[in-house]
Amino acid sequence: MQAVSKTYTLANGVSIPSIGFGTWQVQEGPEAVDSVKAALEAGYRHIDTAQGYQNEEGVGKAVKQSGVKREDIFITSKLTNGIRGYENTKKSIEDSLRRLGTDYMDLFLVHWPVPVNFKDQWQHMNAESWRAMEDALKAGKIRALGISNFRKRHIDELLKTAEIKPVANQIRLCPGDKQEDTVNYSREQGMLLQAYSPLGTGKLFEVPELMDIARQTGRTIAQVALRWSLQRGYNPLPKSITPKRIKENLDVYGFELTKEQMDRINALEGVVGYSADPDHITW
């Protein structure tokens, strides 16, 4: 299969492949190496990891072993919740680069806005971490900065001190969990919406409406959900460790959902539950 050629252009001019390979819950070691290598072989050119996933080293090994040039791969990682503040964030960026075996990351995100250990001072601590991220970007160690799981009030607090605005907000987006207020506000601020868990952590496979549309289109439910995500202008990050499904999840550019099918999917509510409230997480 050809490498993904369709891209979005982030607000700072950096191009990002329109689908990425998610690695949340992919175990460090052979599982991470093998699944990321399978993704790159299938044509993915965007790999999404995080310090908190504890698989950056495996991602880095897979990139090196894949034979694909580093400059042809878009790598995202994220600042883990246990780390905040200027110096600690600066060190953690260096640690991520070392684990990934690369001189730069294409996108680096603050993973959650209100970590449990920083609830009383999250605004200040995020601002200090962001300042370290801005300096890393200026030094060429990061190409673009973003956020994850931020809602309007968290975005507004960050923008009070940010010199460089975030260009992406990675949130859970899938049929039944659309977070439209956050989507709309993020877009107003010039951010691309990245969709993690775009398959609803597997719960979408039990939704009758999606089963019906999959029959109509001759596609899998996963392909229907990912096509929906693309047609809404999102940047979906499907995860799988099965080579066959990894390939199938990328085969979504050769068909379109009709307006009626999109409307049916848009009308779904709560079929996969709702996203965690970032103000009340316990991690």
In the chain, which residue ranges form alpha helices assigned H by DSSP? Answer: 30-42, 56-66, 86-100, 122-138, 152-159, 180-188, 208-217, 221-231, 243-248, 259-266
Q: How many CB atoms lie within 10 A of CB 187?
A: 13
Max distance between CA atoms of the chain, in angstroms, equals 54
Question: 9 has which bridge partners?
Answer: 15
Catalytic residue among 44, 53, 185, 234: 53
Residue 79 corresponds to which amino acid?
Answer: L
Active site residue 234: no
Amino acid at 1: M
On the 0-12 / 13-18 / 19+ scale of CB atoms within 10 A, 44 is buried
Helices (H) and strands (E) in the chain, counts: 10, 10
User: Whole-angstrom Cα distance, residue 19 to residue 79?
Assistant: 21
**Token pair for 235:** 């940047």
Residue 28, burial from CB neighbour count under 10 angstroms (0-12, 13-18, 19+): middle
Query: Would you name the residues annotated as active-site residues?
Result: 53
